[in-house]
Amino acid sequence: MEIFHFPALACAGRVIHGFATRKGGVSEGAYATLNCGGSGDMRENVLSNRKDLCQALGLDPHKLVCLHQVHGIEVVRVGPGGYTPSERSAVLKEGDALITREVDLPLAIMTADCLPIILVDPVSPAVGIVHAGWRGTLQGILPRAVREMERTLGSLLPNLWAGIGPGIAPCCYEVGEEVAGPFRERYPGWRAWLWPGREGRYRLDLARANLLQLKELGIPEQQIGLVGRCTCCHPSLFFSHRREHGKTGRMMSLVALSP
């Protein structure tokens, strides 16, 4: 298994977190090997992979909280006992961010090019995790999650730490006018992370766009970590929706307050 961490987010052992890669696990073919979600793979393999990952991090797989991710802006606050285990997709809530101040409740997001972003407030304490693709980034899912932590969990923005996980980077992320146009319209500072490429297309730097959203909220840049690896460029390390034309697995990112 190969899992990305930021030492600062661990808060001296009070927070458990990780951005898993595809390494480890039992899945085969397009889903090899640590596939933790999506559709197409055998259910028992996905559950076995999730269990292995949770155990590697010292977390209870039965407490895992997942979402039915829909590229929207719904932030789900998880109270005592969670809202449901992750086993049956039919009972999953729709949303793209999870926040909690409960201990021993692992929050999970699945990605394969979109960005997983972990939020940690060591003071309250509280944690959150966000799924940000281009739609979520455009609509501001990350600032919404941060504001929900502030509003409902009492987090103060200067106390927040963030880790931006692996996602598709501008080397591979070319988008059309239907994506670039709405960004230019909504964000006057778009030139910092969106630039013209060939034949009327654009290169989009999702990680930088989200990093700047955090900075604009007043979260100090030295409290923001960036994995900075492109999921599309590294087939042995990451699943990539774009590289594999949709037929691929999902990597799981996790955060929990230590029991």
- Residue 18: C-alpha distances to residues 4, 53, 194, 226 (Å): 6, 9, 28, 13
Question: How many contiguous H segments (helices) and E segments (strands) does the chain have?
Answer: 5, 13
Does 26 participate in binding Zn ion (rule CB under 5 A)? no
Does 230 participate in binding Zn ion (rule CB under 5 A)? yes
Task: Kindly tell me which residue out of 56, 217, 233, 237 binds Zn ion, with binding defined by CB under 5 A.
Answer: 233
Q: How far is the CB of 142 from Zn ion (least distance, A)?
A: 22
Chain-centre distance for alpha carbon 132: 7
Structural contact between residues 146 and 36, judged by C-beta atoms closer than 8 angstroms: no
DSSP state of 71: S
Using CA atoms, how far apart are residues 259 and 246, in angstroms rounded to an integer? 37
Task: Kindly tell me which residue out of 107, 232, 251, 257 binds Zn ion, with binding defined by CB under 5 A.
Answer: 232
Instruction: Mark the segment that binds Zn ion (CB under 5 A) among 62-70, 87-95, 170-178, 220-228.
Output: 170-178
Does 237 participate in binding Zn ion (rule CB under 5 A)? no
Task: Kindly tell me which residue out of 172, 212, 226, 237 binds Zn ion, with binding defined by CB under 5 A.
Answer: 172
Cβ closer to Zn ion: 63 or 243?
243
Instruction: Mark the segment that binds Zn ion (CB under 5 A) among 78-86, 148-156, 163-171, 207-215.
Output: 163-171
* Bridge partners of residue 51, in order along the sequence: none
Q: Which residues bind Zn ion (CB under 5 A)?
A: 169, 171-172, 230, 232-233
